[in-house]
Amino acid sequence: MALHVRLARWAEEHPHLSNALLMGGGIIFSLFFMTAGALDAGKSFWCAAVVALPLFFRRAAPVATAFAVGVLALGVLVLFNVAAIGLCMWAVPCLMYTVAVRASKKKRRTVLIAALLGCLVFALMCRRWFFVFFEDGTVLEWVLASLMFFVVSALFVIVAFLAGDLARNRWRRREQLEDRARRLEVEREQEVRIAAQDERTRIAREMHDVVAHSLSVVIAQADGARYAAASNPDVAAQTLETIAETARGSLTEMRKLLGVLRTDDETETKPVPQLGDIPELVQSVKAAGLPVQFTEKGTPALSTGAQLSLYRVVQEGLTNVLKHAWQASSVRVSIEHRPDFSWVEIINDGAGGNDSPRAPGAGHGLQGLRERVALYGGEMTAGPHATRSDVFVVQATIPTDIPTEDA
């Protein structure tokens, strides 16, 4: 790795120490530069040191540091006739860059205007720090010198401010891309997991059909063999052979289906998710960068299947937010359990400046959830908020007076 890359990485990992070293080196050079040609070296040294002292807090408080340096620089010029030009030539652009990168929009504008006004004051007071080395100039010379110093210093300030603003936008864009990549990775993992779960559910239903059909045949044949055993043993023997063949065929199909259901993924060996697993689901989505607020009231009185249905509603709602509203400013998941029903609501607020559609896509996830909730006598709705089109709401209600489990 190149030396400059290692130094840049070290500076990012140790921001305050690197700032102290950078500011310390610049201050030492500036003090030497100011005192070398000053008429009163002692006074110039101490004045420059006072002006430079706030620079060590540039990263921690950039706006306060910028105002402190400006006020102190003007103060020593007015009170002691000492102009910290050597210090301000590099310190002011450095401060403007830091403010443009770290401060809010309103504070950035305020500091920029204050810096330009400070440049104007320094330029108009050039008689005190520039013409002191020469004989008094004419008014025209003073005006031209003031104009020149103002233009040059203002260019320093504006260029540094624009460079910081460009760096700020570039870093924000990089953070957005990294956050988007993390969300897409989480979304991909969840889609794979949901697809696998759906496939296993389909296979389980097929196995249920195989077992139910085979057992029905076995029961019917066994009843027939029992009645035929006394009057016609040959028919009974054929019937028993049919039972054996049916059972063997059913067992073979079950083994095939169970072989497909087997997986080496440890997460698939977990029990069926219940309402108590929703906080873990919310935490996993928070880890992806989505601001989720979760509240739950009451004690659930639902069957295992009904709890799984509500869990899937929350899972699908959060997955849709990651997929279609990844810039949402907030997501609220609310669950309330009452004696006669349980209710869940997922709301994602629209993010400012996001023109993408807020509703989920044309997939069948929500339709499948409606059917799942309807199996337990519940209802589910999903769509934009009644008064805000940039807010999407998913609600589901399942009554508690439902049999414990379905066949």
Cα–Cα–Cα angle for 291, 292, 295, rounded to 5 degrees = 150
State the pLDDT at residue 208: 63
- Predicted local confidence at residue 361, as pLDDT: 42
Residue 111 lies in a domain: yes
Last residue of a domain, one of 126, 146, 180: 180
Residues 391 and 280 in one domain: yes
Same domain, 138 and 281: no
User: How many domains, the chain?
Assistant: 2
Q: Where are the beta strands (DSSP E) in 254-314?
A: 292-297
Last residue of a domain, one of 162, 180, 198: 180
Judgement on whether residues 174 and 278 belong to the same structural domain of the protein: no
Q: What is the pLDDT of residue 260?
A: 57
Q: Are 174 and 279 within one domain? A: no
Judge if 33 and 170 occupy the same domain. yes
- pTM for the model: 0.48
Residues 280 and 168 in one domain: no
Establish if 75 belongs to a structural domain. yes
Domain for residue 114, yes or no? Answer: yes
Local mean pLDDT, 10-residue blocks, the chain (407 residues) = 75 79 79 63 78 86 92 87 80 91 91 92 78 64 86 93 92 87 84 76 66 64 72 76 73 65 50 79 73 88 83 83 70 91 86 40 64 86 81 89 45
Per-residue model confidence (pLDDT) at position 209: 59
Q: What residues form DSSP beta bridges with 343?
A: 336, 397
Q: Of 163, 180, 197, which marks where a domain is finished?
A: 180
Clarify whether residues 171 and 283 are in a common domain. Answer: no
Domain identity same for 295 and 168? no
Question: For residue 389, what pLDDT is reported?
Answer: 73
Position 239 in a domain: no
Residue labelled with tokens 């040294």: 45
Distance CA 123, CA 139 (A): 14
**Can you give the CATH number for the domain in which 344 is found?**
3.30.565.10
**Distance between CA atoms of residues 85 and 73, nearest Å:** 9
Domain range spanning residue 337?
A: 272-407
Cα 277 to Cα 271, 272, 280, 307, distances in angstroms = 10, 10, 5, 10
Q: Is residue 142 part of a domain?
A: yes
Is there a single domain that holds both residue 166 and residue 19? Answer: yes
Would you say 323 and 361 are in contact if contact means Cβ atoms under 8 Å apart? yes
Residue 359: predicted pLDDT: 42
33 inside domain? yes
CB 249 within 8 A of CB 210: no
Domain contains 15:
yes
Domain check: are 172 and 293 in the same one? Answer: no
